[in-house]
Structure 1
């Protein structure tokens, strides 16, 4: 057996005993044997092992369903191998017509699917009517017919002995001694060949599709944005005290210029304009009676510096313009309100965020693990065409000089090593991950804010602030004293920390609001102080949409 999960991943093992879904196996590490306890899901292809077939099943119905699933999985495995072997055979050949190569691959995929359907029909006719013990015996006796994956893998390894990556011990030794990465394996070269064939076929088919889905004229959208700009700028300056950046108006113009296909592509990415974007169509729109309009789109943990403009799908993901000096936008921040992780350092523009999200989703639309989407899945093909059209529309407005796609895009425009190592020189570390723009040292030892949270710092500080009441009160009292003496860094950073970790605790909410209000006023950021107070009054709202219904 081969272990694929846990501390012994990538080691070969010998089955010793089975206990339901648990098992004991023997592994050899640096020449010495030892036994380990595993779950069946930690093994590669547990369905190949008859001793594990009935583990965990409660009745005959579950056993029969499990056997059928194993047949399906076996033919999926064989099909996966055959489809990738298609490109293994061609990995080092000259590329003559990559699009035609993908067409041949698509035909193979159709044949793989047909053979699986034939095998499952045969199972239903020949195996399903048998008693369970006889069904298992019959399948094990004719494994070449019902369980062909193991033999197919061995045959493939014999034909392509170079496809395997270095073994676990080899990789461990290479890491210890700092050996360089080896040249691309046959497996990796085949993967690149497959990607090139897919891209060529998509470009060919996209050109045909685009004839009936032409891009929209952007000029009308630009003119509309210019007409409405003054009113929305006045509204945001009056109620929030913020100056809107040019980038948000480019984002607005981009949205207005999208045709049906591009709009659907944006929905496919689960990106939905929200927050301040709700005011563009009617800048005079007010909040419902008794609610401060400044909390529209403001999630429970949003720092006062955060101004929501887009929702991102599940777990409360949302994006906001970041105003840590109280006036000018420093970039875009985002986080999952219902999940872990901080807002990150502000960077990029709204459209750069859209491009970033598009490229994350681009390569693997409809893919399963390492296998590309079924080339006959017309829904996936249409989604990729729409994303390509959306990318072209976006690049006419921003990022037009960035030709990279997918992982290449992210590799080219990732954070600099210096920023990752040293952090932002202008921002002090905070629990929310956005950093505080303030001069001076703090009594709590903090580094410079990095794009990703410092786990050890965040864990230790949050534990102190939530578990040690005496220490917390002392921190708050000293932050008050130092702020009154003209040093607001402690009040700002600690206030942001407490705001982030409040979790519905009235005491934490009260202390956070007090410190933030004090710090913002000391720094001349009175609009942020007012936003903090408005949010404090409404942190218990059941939803973040508070505008009057149109």
Structure 2
């Protein structure tokens, strides 16, 4: 009997190579070498890599002829997929030491190889359907096992590739170097091949993008469109500033006008990119075209774009597409914008600490979209689908338009962007020194201690704190009443921190409960007035009266 080896992928011996001793149903006995001594181990087919390479395991599956033949066909398809991936990657293994003279052309050659390799799979499956599928299950198994080089070629190809290109665990070497304080070892052959493939694809992507861009946004158009957008924003700025100051009491930041100019600068392709990200201007942006636009009769305009759980500090300017995701300017002091917050109104999670500008928020979302469109070195080796390529072109163009307004010095993309501009370790560990923790995750900007023990607000909520406090406020009416009474007393004595934080908590968790809504409105109104944030008190009152509206769009249709 020919000796067979497998790699263990699950259990205490994961990553060990083992020699098969015997097979029984879905189980097998194998020998591994540990510290120079051989040890027998019992394994299940799910614990080994490529169980389909072991014909003896096949007989353990369903004996129905149709199911057996379907299973054989699936194994052959998987084998040719595995074989194809290896052949495709060898293309770059063979080229790691060649000069990088024309990487885009190299990607074209690789794309042609991919088409050829995919044809091999189609030919094999067609042959299976003609030669093997008409046979009884037992004979079909025997025929496939007897000609494994034809039907199950991946195992032999893997061994041949490993002999030509030995796999070296670069990660282990780097870890040992770090522990020993030594310089990082040079990249392995396989790592260099991954990088070569990524560089080739990137070169072809950029080449094709430039051709596409020339057809969709001709050279010289950018500055002209941008200048016209900026001029329009300057003409409309005073009217929108006066409207927001009069009705909301807010000062609009310069960043929202850059966001408006960006939107006006978008051509059809960039607008489609924004739609691809499921982002759309909303809330106060609905007033830019007509600052005098009124709400429907009997409704306070300050609740336009205001979702049920929105804190009064939150002023919606953009919708995110799914589960009520929306973005708002955040006004801690009732006058000036601190940053942008966002949350899913129909899902879990809080608003998070306010940070960034509207355009930084769009860039943040764009780079997540870029990452999920194949911007990773460990992606499958196949060329991207044409629609994915088209989406990448649109995102790349929108990124260029955005960077002309903000983030122009941030050249990182995808995951590299998020790693470069993520929250600081100090903020994650200690929280925001200016904000007291609240259940909505935004934190309260207020001085003083609170009767309920709270930490500083972090970018993400403290699960234990939020769960415990929410259960107490919703399930223990006596405890809730005691907290509300103490918050009232302290606020009347000149210490509004309890009223603000508890009011925000109750507002966030009201869930349609009239008593919670009443307490939330009472405490928030009291706290804001004590802090001199009268406009936030008025917004809280308006929202309280309209929290049962079936939709958040309240402006008259134009």
Pick the TM interval, shorter chain: 0.7 to 0.9
CA positional deviation for 1:179: 7.8
CA positional deviation for 1:78: 2.3
Cα gap change, 1:6 to 1:501, in 2 (>3 Å): farther
Separation of aligned partners in 2, 1:286 and 1:410 = 40
Of the three residues 405, 414, 424, the one matched with 1:406 is 414
**Counterpart residue number, 2:212:** 209
Separation of aligned partners in 1, 2:28 and 2:553 = 54
Paired residues for 1:64-79 under 5 Å: 65-79=70-84
CA positional deviation for 1:328: 0.8
Secondary structure of residue in 2 paired with 1:319:
strand
The question of whether the paired residues in 2 share the 8 Å contact of 1:322 and 1:329 is answered with yes
Separation of aligned partners in 1, 2:306 and 2:340 = 15
Please state if 1:106 is matched with 2:111. yes
Cα gap change, 1:134 to 1:292, in 2 (>3 Å): farther
Separation of aligned partners in 2, 1:542 and 1:39 = 54
Cα gap change, 1:129 to 1:395, in 2 (>3 Å): same
The question of whether the paired residues in 2 share the 8 Å contact of 1:517 and 1:529 is answered with yes
Corresponding pairs, count: 544
Of the three residues 142, 147, 150, the one matched with 2:155 is 150
Root-mean-square deviation over aligned CA pairs? 3.7
Separation of aligned partners in 1, 2:245 and 2:423 = 32
Cα gap change, 1:72 to 1:177, in 2 (>3 Å): same
CA positional deviation for 1:132: 4.5
Cα gap change, 1:253 to 1:459, in 2 (>3 Å): same
Separation of aligned partners in 2, 1:447 and 1:147 = 60
Secondary structure of residue in 1 paired with 2:323:
helix
CA positional deviation for 1:43: 6.5
**Counterpart residue number, 1:537:** 545
Separation of aligned partners in 2, 1:300 and 1:309 = 16
**Counterpart residue number, 1:336:** 344
Separation of aligned partners in 1, 2:32 and 2:469 = 43
Of the three residues 382, 385, 393, the one matched with 2:401 is 393
Paired residues for 1:237-316 under 5 Å: 237-316=245-324
- Name structure 2 gaps, 5 residues minimum: 1-5
User: Which structure is larger by alpha-carbon Rg, 1 or 2?
Assistant: 2
**Counterpart residue number, 1:86:** 91
Separation of aligned partners in 2, 1:503 and 1:13 = 57
**Counterpart residue number, 1:477:** 485
**Counterpart residue number, 1:189:** 192
**Counterpart residue number, 2:520:** 512
Cα gap change, 1:59 to 1:502, in 2 (>3 Å): farther
Separation of aligned partners in 2, 1:12 and 1:478 = 66
Secondary structure of residue in 2 paired with 1:118:
helix
Secondary structure of residue in 1 paired with 2:160:
helix
CA positional deviation for 1:488: 1.2
CA positional deviation for 1:256: 0.8
CA positional deviation for 1:517: 2.1
**Counterpart residue number, 2:465:** 457
Secondary structure of residue in 2 paired with 1:430:
coil
Can you list the C-alpha shifts for 1:240-290, whole angstroms capped at 9, x where unaligned?
221111111111111111111111111122221122212212222233334
TM-score of the aligned structures, taking structure 2 as reference length = 0.85
Separation of aligned partners in 2, 1:218 and 1:404 = 23
The question of whether the paired residues in 1 share the 8 Å contact of 2:370 and 2:392 is answered with yes
Worse overlay, 386-395 or 65-74: 65-74
Cα gap change, 1:27 to 1:279, in 2 (>3 Å): farther
Cα gap change, 1:546 to 1:189, in 2 (>3 Å): farther
Worse overlay, 253-262 or 460-469: 460-469
Secondary structure of residue in 1 paired with 2:341:
strand
CA positional deviation for 1:422: 2.3
Can you list the C-alpha shifts for 1:206-231, whole angstroms capped at 9, x where unaligned?
22222211254211111111122122
Please state if 1:384 is matched with 2:392. yes
Please state if 1:497 is matched with 2:505. yes
CA positional deviation for 1:487: 1.0
CA positional deviation for 1:534: 2.7
The question of whether the paired residues in 2 share the 8 Å contact of 1:13 and 1:27 is answered with yes
**Counterpart residue number, 1:353:** 361
Cα gap change, 1:433 to 1:27, in 2 (>3 Å): farther
**Counterpart residue number, 1:159:** 164
Can you list the C-alpha shifts for 1:322-349, whole angstroms capped at 9, x where unaligned?
1111111111112222333222211111
Secondary structure of residue in 2 paired with 1:346:
coil
The question of whether the paired residues in 1 share the 8 Å contact of 2:178 and 2:184 is answered with no
Of the three residues 192, 199, 206, the one matched with 2:202 is 199
Separation of aligned partners in 2, 1:511 and 1:13 = 67
The question of whether the paired residues in 1 share the 8 Å contact of 2:240 and 2:288 is answered with yes
Separation of aligned partners in 2, 1:126 and 1:482 = 86
Separation of aligned partners in 2, 1:542 and 1:56 = 55
The question of whether the paired residues in 2 share the 8 Å contact of 1:251 and 1:350 is answered with yes
Separation of aligned partners in 1, 2:510 and 2:524 = 13
Cα gap change, 1:78 to 1:227, in 2 (>3 Å): same
The question of whether the paired residues in 2 share the 8 Å contact of 1:359 and 1:405 is answered with yes
Separation of aligned partners in 2, 1:50 and 1:521 = 78
Secondary structure of residue in 1 paired with 2:167:
helix
Separation of aligned partners in 2, 1:449 and 1:278 = 32
Separation of aligned partners in 1, 2:19 and 2:522 = 63
Cα gap change, 1:457 to 1:142, in 2 (>3 Å): farther
CA positional deviation for 1:489: 1.0
Can you list the C-alpha shifts for 1:446-501, whole angstroms capped at 9, x where unaligned?
22222232233333333333344433332222222212211111121122222223
Worse overlay, 174-183 or 190-199: 174-183
